[in-house]
Amino acid sequence: MTNQTNLNTREKYARYVTTSFSAGLEPITVTHAEGVRISDDAGREYIDCYSGIAVTNAGHGHPKVREAAKQQIDRLVHCSSYTYYVEPVADLAERLADVTPRRLQKSFFSNSGAEGIEAALRLAKVYTGKREFIALERSFHGRSFGTLSLTGNMARKTRGGPYAGGFFFAPAPYTYRSLFGEDPEVVAEQSARALENVIRFHSSGDVAAFIMEPVMGEGGMIVPPPSYIRRVKEILDKYGILFIADEVQSGFGRTGKLFAIEHAGVEPDIMVMAKGIADGFPLAATIAREEIADSFKPGEHLSTFGGNPVACAAALANLDVMLEEDLPGQAARKGEAALARLRAIQADHECIGEVRGAGLMIGIELVQSRATKEPAPALAKALRAYCREHGVLVGVAGIDGNVIRLQPPLVIAEDDLNVALDVVAAGVAELSGVAAGAR
């Protein structure tokens, strides 16, 4: 191994890695990960409830995924899947057509969620001949120019503007903080009507597609009422607007179904997958109905590394694991137990405003007090640090940075999950004063 200086990993980050990466990192140098456990260079072991931002759904280094990737590495690493026929690409495209909602049949492969969404946007434009888009407030769709234009969160867009025109935003069906109250059915109906108003009053009637995350991740693990998604589909059909489901974070078993949109029983026109698709190998797929996918002319849209054979082979093995081990079912059962436990913890603590989630995509929204609902980001930060110091890795999400996210690998053993929840409970008990102190 070349080591040009005597700097350690953290010092090299400070000197050579852009601050976008290195500021705010957790003080852990990860050396190894297996299943739900992450180890650092000091020999400490952590229970991972973050999964590398909701990626390693089948567990770190699942033996079957690892083996499939190794075998593919020995055969073929890269040769441009857009210039030549490559077997794992064809096999994966066929499998995705089988496991995604019925009419979604043809996949475009790229390397990240943002790239997958970009492909969906362009495809929607090409197919419809229209140029505007509608997304949700509090959404997150990536960090490229197009996907940031589509992201409904000022904090993520800051210092990157002005963004592209022709992007409009409708209210998120977020029952905890909706302007329409807390009744899920009322929020669903009124939020859907507000979307119709955006179409009628904000757009120029040139809307190609509406995009939403069936469970909103970065916005704070917001679970839209299923009736909202169904009403939205009716409205979109009325105006001839395509529905793009961003399953980048919610897909591959995370929410208790293989894809979160299945909870609503709605079939989107285009669906984007990434993160959990290959248990850690970089890959995204944008799948669409055949007639939509076929509207790209040959060579019109591609990505050099898109459809990398190793990532595709890993994705195929990952899908086998998902189905053989019923990872969606595991997520549903464990998620339900975790939510029940967290709600019991909530009852004793004024600083927990809401506990919500689907499967193992769980958010704990921290507030100064239940009456004011004022966000408590300092508490979230402190709780994340407390958990880390006690051997559990969790994330933070939400527009105000006040939602603890629990997204362990779906294979997490119930004992490990209980240990993680014990640590969260002890942390909340010890730190509840932080909410009031940070005022």
Ligand X SMILES: Cc1ncc(COP(=O)(O)O)c(C=O)c1O
Q: What angle do CA 193, 196, 200 make, to 5 degrees?
A: 140
Q: Kindly provide the b/e burial profile for residues 66-102, where b requires at least 16 CB atoms within 10 angstroms of the residue's own CB.
A: bebbeebeeeeeeeebbeeebebbeebbebbbeebbe
Task: Identify the residue whose tokens are 């739900």.
Answer: 36
CA nearest to 133, candidates 112, 143, 144, 148: 148
In the complex, the smallest distance separating the C-beta of residue 283 from ligand X, rounded to whole angstroms, is: 10
Q: Minimum CB separation from ligand X for residue 418, in Å?
A: 27
Beta carbon of residue 371, minimum distance to ligand X (angstroms, whole number): 31
Q: Tokens 């999950």 sit at which residue?
A: 417
Query: Least distance from C-beta 213 to ligand X, angstroms?
Result: 5
Residue (113 or 171) nearer to ligand X, CB: 113
302 with 274: CB under 8 angstroms? no
Nearest residue (CB) to ligand X, 250 versus 432: 250
Of 148 and 367, nearer to ligand X (C-beta) is 148
| Number of residues in the chain | 439
Give the residues lining the site for ligand X (CB under 6 A).
53, 112-114, 117, 140-142, 213, 217-218, 246, 248-249, 274
- Report, in Å, the least distance between residue 411 CB and ligand X: 21
Cβ neighbourhood burial of 390 (10 Å; 0-12, 13-18, 19+): middle
Closest approach, Cβ 142 to ligand X, in A, equals 4
The phi, psi pair for 331, rounded to 5°, reads -60, -40
Closest residue to ligand X using C-beta atoms: 113
**Which lies closer to ligand X via its Cβ, residue 22 or residue 39?**
22
Q: Which is nearer to ligand X, 59 or 217 (CB)?
A: 217
What is the C-alpha R_g of the chain? 21
Q: Which CB sits closer to ligand X, 261 or 379?
A: 261
